[in-house]
Structure 1
Amino acid sequence: MADRRVFCLVLDSLGVGELPDAARFGDVGAHTLDHLVAAAGQPHIPRLIELGLGRVPGVHSLPAPAAPAGAFGRLCEVSPGKDTSTGHWELMGCPLEQEFPTFPNGFPPEIIEPFVQRAELPGVLCNATASGTAVIERYAAEHIATGQPIVYTSADSVFQIAAHEQHFGLERLYAVCEVAREILTPYGVGRVIARPFVGEPGGYTRTYNRRDYSLVPPAETSMDRLVAAGVEVVGVGKIDDIFAGRGVTRSIHTEGNDDGMGHTIELARTLESGFVFVNLVDFDMLFGHRRDSAGYRDALERFDAQLIELERELRPGDVVLMTADHGNDPTKFETTDHTREYVPLLACGPGVRAGAELGTRASFADLGATVEELLGLEPAAPGSSFAAALSS
Structure 2
Amino acid sequence: MKEYKRIFVIVMDSLGIGAMPDSEKFGDIGVDTFGHILERMRTLDIPNLRKLGMLNLHSGGDMTGIKQPVGRYCKMAECSNGKDTMTGHWEMMGLRTEKPFRTFTETGFPLELIKELEERCGKRVIGNKSASGTAIIEELGEEEIATGAMIVYTSADSVMQICGNEETFDLENLYRCCEIARELTMKEEWRVGRVIARPYVGKKKGEFKRTSNRRDYALKPSGATTLNALADAGYDVIGIGKIHDIFCGEGITESLHSTSSVNGMEQTIDICKKDFEGLCFVNLVDFDALWGHRRNPEGYGREIEKMDQNLGVLLDTMREDDLLIITADHGNDPTYTGTDHTREYVPLLAYSKKMKEGGKMPDTDTFAVIGATIADNFDIRMPEGTVGYSILEELK
Q: Give me the TM-score of the superposition, normalised by structure 1.
A: 0.91
Task: State percent identity of aligned pairs.
Answer: 45
Structure 1 residue 293 corresponds to structure 2 residue 294: no
Matched ranges for 1:1-392 at <5 A: 1=2, 4-56=5-57, 58-61=58-61, 62-103=63-104, 104-120=106-122, 122-132=123-133, 134-164=135-165, 168=169, 172-187=173-188, 188-196=191-199, 201=205, 210-332=214-336, 334-378=337-381, 381-391=386-396
Q: In the TM superposition, what is the alpha-carbon distance from 1:315 to its structure 2 partner?
A: 1.5
Larger deviation: 138-147 or 253-262? 138-147
Q: Secondary structure at the match of 2:187?
A: helix
Q: Is the 8 A contact 1:6 1:374 kept in 2?
A: no
Q: Is the 8 A contact 2:17 2:35 kept in 1?
A: yes
| CA distance in 2: counterparts of 1:244 and 1:44, whole angstroms | 36
Larger deviation: 222-231 or 173-182? 173-182
Relative distance call for 1:124 and 1:320 in structure 2 (3 A) is same
Instruction: Read off the aligned partner of 1:115 and give its amino acid letter.
Output: L
Relative distance call for 1:67 and 1:156 in structure 2 (3 A) is same
Instruction: Read off the aligned partner of 1:289 and give its amino acid letter.
Output: H
Q: Is the 8 A contact 1:195 1:210 kept in 2?
A: yes
Q: Is the 8 A contact 1:208 1:256 kept in 2?
A: no
Relative distance call for 1:35 and 1:196 in structure 2 (3 A) is farther
Q: In the TM superposition, what is the alpha-carbon distance from 1:385 to its structure 2 partner?
A: 1.1
Relative distance call for 1:147 and 1:282 in structure 2 (3 A) is farther
Q: In the TM superposition, what is the alpha-carbon distance from 1:183 to its structure 2 partner?
A: 2.1
| CA distance in 1: counterparts of 2:19 and 2:272, whole angstroms | 34
Q: In the TM superposition, what is the alpha-carbon distance from 1:53 to its structure 2 partner?
A: 0.4
Instruction: Read off the aligned partner of 1:6 and give its amino acid letter.
Output: I
Q: Is the 8 A contact 2:200 2:209 kept in 1?
A: yes
Instruction: Read off the aligned partner of 2:348 and give its amino acid letter.
Output: L
Unaligned ranges ≥5, structure 2: none
Q: In the TM superposition, what is the alpha-carbon distance from 1:133 to its structure 2 partner?
A: 5.2
Q: Secondary structure at the match of 1:270?
A: coil
Instruction: Read off the aligned partner of 2:387 and give its amino acid letter.
Output: P
| CA distance in 2: counterparts of 1:55 and 1:281, whole angstroms | 24
Instruction: Read off the aligned partner of 1:107 and give its amino acid letter.
Output: F
Instruction: Read off the aligned partner of 1:117 and give its amino acid letter.
Output: E
Q: In the TM superposition, what is the alpha-carbon distance from 1:95 to its structure 2 partner?
A: 1.2
Q: In the TM superposition, what is the alpha-carbon distance from 1:320 to its structure 2 partner?
A: 0.8
How many pairs does the alignment contain? Answer: 388
For 1:287-332, what per-residue CA distance to the aligned partner results, in whole angstroms no more than 9, with x for missing partners?
Answer: 1111222221111111111111112221121001111111111112
| CA distance in 2: counterparts of 1:78 and 1:280, whole angstroms | 22
Instruction: Read off the aligned partner of 1:339 and give its amino acid letter.
Output: T
For 1:141-189, what per-residue CA distance to the aligned partner results, in whole angstroms no more than 9, with x for missing partners?
Answer: 3334334332123454321223455664556544432231122223332
For 1:362-390, what per-residue CA distance to the aligned partner results, in whole angstroms no more than 9, with x for missing partners?
Answer: 00111111111222324565101111101
| CA distance in 1: counterparts of 2:231 and 2:154, whole angstroms | 34
| CA distance in 2: counterparts of 1:3 and 1:53, whole angstroms | 23
| CA distance in 2: counterparts of 1:288 and 1:325, whole angstroms | 13
Q: Secondary structure at the match of 1:97?
A: coil
Instruction: Read off the aligned partner of 1:375 and give its amino acid letter.
Output: F
Relative distance call for 1:343 and 1:275 in structure 2 (3 A) is same
Q: CA RMSD in A?
A: 2.4
Q: Is the 8 A contact 1:208 1:255 kept in 2?
A: no
Q: Is the 8 A contact 1:16 1:59 kept in 2?
A: no
Larger deviation: 170-179 or 298-307? 170-179
Q: Is the 8 A contact 1:351 1:390 kept in 2?
A: no
Q: In the TM superposition, what is the alpha-carbon distance from 1:134 to its structure 2 partner?
A: 4.6
Instruction: Read off the aligned partner of 2:114 and give its amino acid letter.
Output: I
Q: Secondary structure at the match of 1:361?
A: coil
Q: Is the 8 A contact 2:159 2:195 kept in 1?
A: yes
Q: Secondary structure at the match of 2:116?
A: helix
Q: Secondary structure at the match of 1:116?
A: helix
| CA distance in 2: counterparts of 1:146 and 1:213, whole angstroms | 26
Instruction: Read off the aligned partner of 1:218 and give its amino acid letter.
Output: S
Larger deviation: 153-162 or 163-172? 163-172
